[in-house]
Amino acid sequence: MLVMRYDDAVASLYQVPIDRFVAERKRLAGELKAAGDKDGAARLAKLARPPISAWVVDQLWWQARDAFDALFETAQRLRDGKLEAMAAHREAIAKLRAEAAKILISSEHTATEATLRRVTQTLAALAASGGWEPDPPGALSADREPPGFEAIGVSSEVPLPVIAQAKESKRQTQHARAEHDDAARARRDAAEAERRREREVVAARAEAAADLRRAEAERAKAAAERHRIEAALRTAQGDVTQREREVVKLERDLAAARNMVAQAKAVVQGLEERLAQLHN
């Protein structure tokens, strides 16, 4: 039999539904203690139950690993000064936000704007640090604040090599018209990226709403079926009661009939005895 290890217990704990977190923490701590890891059991018992926003970020790590890898990869490119990765980074965050909405709804939680905003901020903070430290991957117990990051998760601090290149480019630029064109193009690109992100968010919300409607329809169907079965059960129980009453009545009638047969036999026997006496 495999022995439960502390790291495995932590990974298992932060994958359970949030309403089962406390009970699962107690169970896993008991397993660690039974396996002889008393220190690990004590550490596990102290792990905090995460808020719903941190919990759903943990689920993204376990259920949408490719999207998380894209988040970290584009963040690293931005830290390396490759600002062309900004659009891809925004797309990675938007995709994870949409997945978070799906996870919340499928777990019967409300995907509020406030919750999704905290999810986005935590994703931005993880991207800023390039990892989960000091927490294990997929085991956040609290939201993270993005230090020096914008809401979309892009660092507000431009790397030094990029600053130097920008200054050199500015010194080399002699025509104000070219500068104006570059700025206009950048604004158009940024606006298009923002519109694309908004379209993706709208599509994700629409898909999440459709999923919710399907779930509600399934629940309504199940409730109707339950009511039908309950009505049939009540009818069957009534039939059983009626049949039992009929059985009791028949048993009384049978007892009375047997008594009458016994009386008739007694009369026959008496008559036979008198007849025999007359023959003698």
pLDDT of residue 243: 86
Each as own residue / partner, the long-range contacts of residues 261-269 (CB below 8 Å, 24 or more positions apart, any chain) are none
pLDDT of residue 174: 61
Q: Alpha-carbon distance 25 to 77, whole Å?
A: 38
What is the DSSP code string of 247-266?
HHHHHHHHHHHHHHHHHHHH
Type of residue at 276: A
The whole-number average pLDDT for the span 160-186 is: 52
The whole-number average pLDDT for the span 69-76 is: 95
CB under 8 Å to 33, separation ≥6 — which residues? 41
The whole-number average pLDDT for the span 134-148 is: 89
Q: Do the Cβ atoms of 157 and 148 come closer than 8 Å?
A: yes
pLDDT band with cut points at 50, 70 and 90 for residue 26: very high
The whole-number average pLDDT for the span 115-123 is: 96
Q: What's the chain's average pLDDT?
A: 84
**Structure confidence by residue, pLDDT tens digits, 183-195:** 678 788 878 888 8
Angle at 126 between CA 60 and CA 131, to 5 degrees: 95
The whole-number average pLDDT for the span 124-147 is: 93
Burial of residue 197, with CB atoms counted within 10 A of its CB: 0-12 exposed, 13-18 middle, 19 or more buried: middle
pLDDT of residue 179: 61
Lowest mean pLDDT among 103-117, 121-135, 165-179: 165-179
Does the pLDDT at position 36 exceed 90? yes
